[in-house]
Structure 1
Amino acid sequence: MGILLKGGTIITEDKTFVGDLRIEGETIEAIGASITPVSGDEVIDVAGQYVLPGIIDAHVHYKMPIGKVYTIDNFDTGSRAALCGGVTTVIDYAEPVEGCDMLGSLDHRVKEASGHNFVDYSMHMTLSGDTPYSLDDIEKFKEYGVNSIKLYTTYDFILDYKSIEAILIKAAELDMVVTIHSEDNAIIQEKIEELKAEGKTAISYHAVSRPSVSETKAVEDLVDICEKNNVGVHIVHVSSGYTAELIEVAKKRGVKITAETCPHYLMLNSEVYEGEDAPLFVMQPPLRTEAERQLLWEKLISGTFDFITTDHCAYDHHQKFFSHTFYETNGGIPGTETLLPVMWSEGVSKGKITPEHLMKMLSENPAKTYGLYPKKGTLKVGSDGDIVVIDPLREVTISKDLIHTAADYSTFEGLSLKGYPVLTILRGKIAFNKGKFCLGDPEGQFVKIL
């Protein structure tokens, strides 16, 4: 028995048209203007609605250890919420595990997620300055089925730029992707110590402690390395429009640089750190000024960003409010479930971007970047039957009662949206339909690079 979607506005890589799409088993079997149902098909009328490839959130942290605690969303709750928002694939992070070598750490994380993820998933492998690794490990990651590495220019696991350069060169030889959390550590540490000395430790100083110049400086240094060696880099969670300008200029110069931003940087500014709920909005990098937020939108509209992710790293109120200092508050927010609806409402419904542009940023481009295409990220015959149907006229207001994350709040609480997912299909199975979660046990699969 198959699933036949009838009369929807289908967005493929090549065109957008009103038509039908049929799934047989786990894959797309036919796409066309009019498809006759096969006996036993479940026929679903999607007239007036948009049919997109399942969304890929290429930056999530489920069940991530923070000291002795974990983020509130484990694989189960995080991926369940993802499906309710039209996300069918996520890319999580594997970090070094005590007692394991690098490949063993990757395998440990993949197996930890197995049997607990409702969505399909891949991994970025983290290399850090506080754990031994070798450049030969990078090739082992690719042989395992992962083609991306995560590095940091700040935090305790910072890598120096000489080490980063060596990794970028090795990854380029293997046609792998290096993703980097880019903030200049020296600038941040100097600012933090200065604020502490002045007794300015309230969360209202969070954005001041990690100024946007720390992000632009780190990206400038990475651009220089890439240009010198003719290698590429991917910048994660760009927070400032000034950084986006720098990336835009580098791209025009031919530098092999790609970048992502997140809905919270597009929707919120640093004024929230003055309010009573300030801890709920602490993340790294922090939210920026209103001018930088608006500039970020300008650069997204003009095509500077390759895709949009969430950096989903969820906590509940208890985990967020245990401290009221900017340097002790847990950094991270929920986001996967609201990725598509927020970007559709604020981008497409308000006429800032086209549905086709959004599809590329949320599905096609991350799939191509991380080696998941054409299995994922596109509506093609033979591709996985990962589908999200969005009703462009449905209006909702985001609240903790609407969303499914284990976090007891939404970053976008009270935001009115126009356009919302009504149906999610994962590899030919209806996962979410008209507000109801439809799956039993988690059946998400680890997706190896193609």
Structure 2
Amino acid sequence: MKLFINANIPTSSAALKRVNVLFDQKIVKVSKDPIETEEGVEVIDLDGMLLLPGAVDIHCHIMSKLADYPQHLEAVTKTAISGGWTTLADMSYMTDTPIFVKSTLAKRIPIVDANSYCDITLWGHVDIEDYPYHSEAAQELWGKGMVGLILMNPSPNPAVSDISYTEIMDLFLDIYDSDTAFAYQGWDVEESKGFDRESQTAAVKKLLRRMQENPIHIPRVTFFELIDFINGVSKRSDISFSLCMADVMNLMAGISRPDAMVMDLEEQIDLMLELFRTNKIYLLSNNASYFPSQTDTPDIFAGIDYQRMEYSYLWVLSELWKKQKLPLHSCIKMTSENPAKRLGIYPQKGSLDAGSDADFMIYNPEGLTQTNLKTDAGDTVELSGSINTVYLKGDVVYSGKTHHAKNGRYLARSHSPKRRHNKTTWI
């Protein structure tokens, strides 16, 4: 058992709250008053540093070849944990062994348990070639705790067939009475030969015409018109989207983007800032990939160099909270609470309430962090604030530039990702 004293945590206002936190693998008690403990409890004085929930990424793209998965998983999660990202969801576009059935999932879990520094949830795929049994297999995966199923049209992966809008509609109808979550990546191949603003927007609209009650997530949106459209219909339809951290870092601070993904957000910078300030940006994702650049893969599926995860959570605090004056609780929601809710793992993750996993990032707001990031002008980026220590399930996993034991495990979904089930918040 451990006890933090003199910790500052976010609140729904601009003020911070000074608390004491008793925890083991899970948070036992949070109180502004002294916590009485038995002898033997390790007391850790945070001296006013910020205690934040570990960040949660709704989709990284780690796996390619099964034989390389242990090495790649270790590399990506080791970098992620050093940046305060304690839980990742692996949505593998280019895997050679897609998770179509529960037997594949069962083989994947031991690999995760043996090689990850972070807790890992998994997205599955739909094997449309297995008609008419593909819907049953998808439901079985959902029942085993997978966080969702990724639909790709066109599919960049020869191991996963394209799924047409008619097939998507049939799939939705087959499982309309469940809360199975889906993600969609691609564009309208019937109307366009490539990815652009019009083809992605057309694809999302076709999805909405076919969707039932199932949550749908769009992993990377780079067009203001589509952001505005999704925000406009999200009260009627359970649809969400994420912005890519690399896109936001370029938009807000001129930090060079590592890919050539088409984007028009810079044309609406003032409106984008207003969306951030009014909580209209639901969540942020690194879209991290071990192989970000593949000449035969469309940019929308390529992902971003995973090494940027070392600084992305810090950047949110330095740029959005400190410089742009966004409320701290809004920053935490976009990087922790909302992703955990959409994955169906809240409040186990993304929360500082009693009963939640003791996943923490201890942040020193007075520090400075030198990065290897560069602006478009070639200047090195310095971030205000620094990471002191990262905890996963109550154990120190990163401190003082040192990684400790690989403590990550496979994490099954425990709650519904539907928005109507996610009304509460720990802040």
Q: Quote the residue 2:322 is aligned against.
A: 349
Describe the superposition over 1:367-424 as per-residue Cα deviations: whole angstroms up to 9, x where unpaired.
Answer: 2222212221111222211111112232223217xxxxxxxx9999832222332211
Q: Quote the residue 2:339 is aligned against.
A: 366
C-alpha displacement of 1:187: 5.3
Q: Quote the residue 1:223 is aligned against.
A: 208
C-alpha displacement of 1:149: 1.0
C-alpha displacement of 1:135: 0.5
Q: How does 1:208-219 map to 2 (within 5 A)?
A: 210-219=195-204
Q: Quote the residue 1:423 is aligned against.
A: 389
Q: How does 1:387-426 map to 2 (within 5 A)?
A: 387-399=360-372, 414-426=380-392
Describe the superposition over 1:126-162 as per-residue Cα deviations: whole angstroms up to 9, x where unpaired.
Answer: 2255676611112211221213111123334431112
Q: Indicate yes or no: 2:104 matched with 1:105.
A: yes
Which region of structure 1 is more displaced relative to structure 2, 123-132 or 370-379? 123-132
Change (3 A) 1:61 1:328: closer
Q: Indicate yes or no: 2:47 matched with 1:47.
A: yes
Which region of structure 1 is more displaced relative to structure 2, 412-421 or 365-374? 412-421
C-alpha displacement of 1:341: 1.0
Q: Indicate yes or no: 2:228 matched with 1:245.
A: yes
Q: Which amino acid aligns with 1:255?
A: S
C-alpha displacement of 1:79: 0.9
Partners of 1:183 and 1:100 in 2: CA distance: 23
Q: Indicate yes or no: 2:255 matched with 1:263.
A: no
Q: Quote the residue 1:377 is aligned against.
A: 350
C-alpha displacement of 1:255: 2.0
Partners of 1:255 and 1:232 in 2: CA distance: 8
Q: Quote the residue 1:195 is aligned against.
A: none
Q: How does 1:141-156 map to 2 (within 5 A)?
A: 141-156=141-156
Q: Quote the residue 2:172 is aligned against.
A: 168
Contact persistence 2:7–2:46 (CA under 8 A): yes
Q: Indicate yes or no: 2:418 matched with 1:447.
A: no
Partners of 2:174 and 2:113 in 1: CA distance: 29
Partner SS state of residue 115, structure 1? helix
TM-score with structure 2 setting the length: 0.82
Q: How does 1:53-68 map to 2 (within 5 A)?
A: 53-65=53-65
Partners of 2:71 and 2:268 in 1: CA distance: 30
Change (3 A) 1:100 1:124: closer
Contact persistence 2:5–2:19 (CA under 8 A): yes
Indicate the percent of aligned positions where both proteins have the same amino acid.
20
Partners of 1:433 and 1:348 in 2: CA distance: 23
C-alpha displacement of 1:330: 9.1
Change (3 A) 1:86 1:327: closer
Partner SS state of residue 108, structure 1? helix
Change (3 A) 1:417 1:448: same
Q: Indicate yes or no: 2:290 matched with 1:281.
A: no
Unaligned runs of 5+ in 1: 192-209, 401-408
Q: Quote the residue 2:218 is aligned against.
A: 235
Q: Quote the residue 2:17 is aligned against.
A: 17
Change (3 A) 1:185 1:302: farther
Contact persistence 2:60–2:92 (CA under 8 A): no
Change (3 A) 1:170 1:232: farther
Partners of 1:299 and 1:187 in 2: CA distance: 30
Q: Which amino acid aligns with 1:428?
A: G
Q: Quote the residue 2:31 is aligned against.
A: 32
How many residues in Structure 1 have an aligned counterpart in Structure 2?
401
Partner SS state of residue 335, structure 2? helix
Contact persistence 1:72–1:315 (CA under 8 A): no
Unaligned runs of 5+ in 2: 415-427
Q: Indicate yes or no: 2:284 matched with 1:308.
A: yes
Q: How does 1:123-138 map to 2 (within 5 A)?
A: 123-127=122-126, 134-138=134-138
TM-score with structure 1 setting the length: 0.78
Q: How does 1:75-90 map to 2 (within 5 A)?
A: 75-90=73-88
Partner SS state of residue 223, structure 1? helix
Partners of 2:103 and 2:96 in 1: CA distance: 8
Q: Which amino acid aligns with 2:49?
A: Q
Contact persistence 2:222–2:265 (CA under 8 A): no
Partners of 1:263 and 1:101 in 2: CA distance: 29
Q: Quote the residue 2:419 is aligned against.
A: none
Describe the superposition over 1:91-110 as per-residue Cα deviations: whole angstroms up to 9, x where unpaired.
Answer: 11367756985223333333
Describe the superposition over 1:261-287 as per-residue Cα deviations: whole angstroms up to 9, x where unpaired.
Answer: 121121226xx9xxxx98x424xx544
RMSD: 3.5
Q: Which amino acid aligns with 2:91?
A: Y
Contact persistence 1:27–1:427 (CA under 8 A): yes
Partners of 1:104 and 1:281 in 2: CA distance: 35
Q: Quote the residue 1:121 is aligned against.
A: 120
Contact persistence 1:27–1:385 (CA under 8 A): yes
Change (3 A) 1:101 1:83: closer
Partners of 2:346 and 2:297 in 1: CA distance: 40
Change (3 A) 1:137 1:211: same
C-alpha displacement of 1:245: 0.5
Partners of 2:301 and 2:140 in 1: CA distance: 33
Partners of 2:411 and 2:119 in 1: CA distance: 7
Contact persistence 2:99–2:105 (CA under 8 A): no
Change (3 A) 1:379 1:303: same
C-alpha displacement of 1:307: 1.6
Describe the superposition over 1:79-130 as per-residue Cα deviations: whole angstroms up to 9, x where unpaired.
Answer: 1111111111111136775698522333333333230011111101122556
Describe the superposition over 1:282-324 as per-residue Cα deviations: whole angstroms up to 9, x where unpaired.
Answer: 4xx54445215654443333223322111101348xxx4x86x
Partner SS state of residue 384, structure 2? strand
